[in-house]
Amino acid sequence: MTESDYRVWAPRASKVELVLADGSGRSEHPMTVDGDGWWSPAADVEWMPGTDYGYLLDGEGPYPDPRSRRQPEGVHGLSRTDDPSAFEWHDADWTGLPIDSAEIYELHVGTFTPEGTLEAAAAPDKLEHLLSIGVTHVELLPVNGFNGTHNWGYDGVAWFTVHEGYGGPEAYRRFVDACHAAGLAVIQDVVYNHLGPSGNYLPLYGPYLSDAHKNTWGVSVNLDKEGSSEVRRFILDNAQLWLRDYHVDGLRLDAVHALVDDSPTHLLAELAAEADALSESTGIKRLVVAESDLNDPVMFLPREGDPRAAGAQGTGYGLDGQWSDDFHHAVHVNLTGETAGYYADFDSVGALAKVLTRGFFHDGTYSSFRERMHGVELDRATTSPWRLVVASQTHDQIGNRATGDRLTATLEPDRLAIAAALTLLGPFTPMLFMGEEWGASTPWQFFTSHPEPELGEATAKGRIEEFSKHGWDPAIVPDPQDPETFRNSKLDWDELGTAPHAGVLEVYRRLAAIRRTLPAGDDLTLADVNVEFDEDARWLVLSRPSIVVIVNLGEERLDAGTVARVAPLAGEALLDSHAVLHGPTATTPDEAAGRPAGVAARSVVVARQQ
Q: Which residues are catalytic?
A: 254, 291
CB 516: neighbour CB atoms within 10 A? 11
CB 576: neighbour CB atoms within 10 A? 27
d(CA 178, CA 174): 6
d(CA 130, CA 109): 14
Nearest to 410 by CA among 333, 475, 485: 333
d(CA 67, CA 146): 14
d(CA 284, CA 168): 25
Instruction: Write the CA distances from 375 to 35, 255, 294, 540, 581, integer angstroms.
Output: 45, 16, 6, 25, 39
**Exposure class string for 207-230: b at 16+ Cβ within 10 A, else e:** bbbbeebeeebebbbbbbbebbeb
Contact indicator for 415, 602 with CB cutoff of 8 Å: yes
d(CA 389, CA 359): 10
d(CA 587, CA 212): 61
Nearest to 16 by CA among 52, 54, 61, 55: 55
d(CA 69, CA 83): 9
d(CA 354, CA 348): 10
d(CA 192, CA 137): 22
d(CA 36, CA 41): 15
Instruction: Write the CA distances from 504 to 376, 416, 420, 496, integer angstroms.
Output: 36, 8, 9, 9
d(CA 537, CA 566): 12
